[in-house]
A and B are shown apart, each in its own frame.
Chain A
């Protein structure tokens, strides 16, 4: 099959593989600890670990966009900030 129309690059492939591995990881986590670990965090509503992953990914996307718009094209610091943010979400939300 020819996938050249999808215009794959190594960085975008790595990006999607990372997302895919995260989803697989969540599946494995769910297998060993079923139920999604629902809890009420600082947002004052119940979230499962799937919700927390979604909030982490969506927030990370906006962190990168904000960094790009306000600071500049070097996104490594934005990535570090997004990782810290995601840890915070999984810990406190």
Chain B
């Protein structure tokens, strides 16, 4: 049978194309243009070629921020994924406890990022914050304003508090989709709790877990608001992640050329990692 071609459908995607052009493509083109030039304001630009990229690739500051970001993402994933699975496994599947748990889990996700930062900034203060004051009263030398280790611990706990719920909800969605017949068969076979987890629950959660890992990695790799509100990137540069450094460079120092070059390198890394995750996820589906 002759296939019917109807190109009118292209008009349906036109609004999306316009939206993407104005929200992503045109700003990205502008950033590329800025990355090869220097400016002192007043819409005057001077050609710099690949100089800013070279400067960025040899910049200790850039690689230090990149290292901090990768370490932060690795720690976040190492905590949030197992913790999210553990909580999801222990959430009730029936009864009044289900909506209660789901609402409690969803609450941190509904709070705006800058508000989360403000909550933890106050919470951790040793003079008026419940956490900081209590730790200080117990004899711990906790002070996230002066101590880089304390600042890291605060930012990590804040992120765990804010985002573990997402992993929990995704895992829970995977768990409730498992038919009861699987558990009944496991019971008949005399399977242990670990065997049920390893051979029934984990494989069924694998797809949602991949989504959780992708979302949490990308989000933690691009984190800005919460640590900026809590620590401002300090003490020193100890919690200055890539996005914080980028804003400091672009807005604080008005170094638009180097900031644009940094943005493009940052964007390419995010794009590469997204592609790797996406490929792994889609090919996992194909194999299944």
Contact = CB atoms under 8 A, between A and B. Distances in A.
A45 B74 CA distance: 27
Interface in A46-86: 46, 54, 58, 61-62, 65, 68-69, 73, 75
Contact of B54 (A4, A11, A58, A69): A69
A15 interface: yes
Given A46-B286, A62-B272, A65-B265, A7 B30 contact: yes
Nearest to A78: B50
A75 B275 CA distance: 25
Nearest to A2: B43
A78 B272 CA distance: 19
Contacts of A75: 50
Given A58-B275, A65-B265, A69-B57, A8 B33 contact: yes
Contact of B29 (A16, A54, A65, A68): A16
B146 interface: no
Interface residues of A, number: 21
A9 interface: yes
Nearest to B27: A6
B33 A6 contact: yes
Given A7-B45, A45-B286, A68 B30 contact: no
A58 B50 contact: no
Given A68-B57, A73-B50, A7 B272 contact: no
A11 B33 CA distance: 9
A6 B50 contact: no
Interface centre among B50, B272, B275, by most A CB within 10 Å? B50
Contacts of B57: 65, 68-69
A8 B286 CA distance: 43
Given A61-B268, A73-B50, A7 B39 contact: yes
A12 interface: yes
B67 interface: no
B165 interface: no
Interface of B: 26, 29-30, 32-34, 36-37, 39, 43, 45, 47, 49-51, 53-54, 57-58, 265, 268, 271-272, 275, 279, 283, 286
20 contacts: A5-B43, A6-B29, A6-B33, A7-B34, A7-B37, A7-B39, A7-B45, A9-B33, A9-B45, A16-B29, A16-B32, A45-B286, A58-B268, A58-B272, A58-B275, A62-B272, A69-B54, A69-B58, A73-B49, A73-B51
Interface of A: 4-9, 11-12, 15-16, 45-46, 54, 58, 61-62, 65, 68-69, 73, 75
Given A12-B29, A12-B33, A68-B57, 11 more contacts: A4-B43, A6-B26, A6-B33, A7-B30, A54-B275, A65-B57, A65-B268, A73-B49, A73-B50, A73-B51, A73-B54
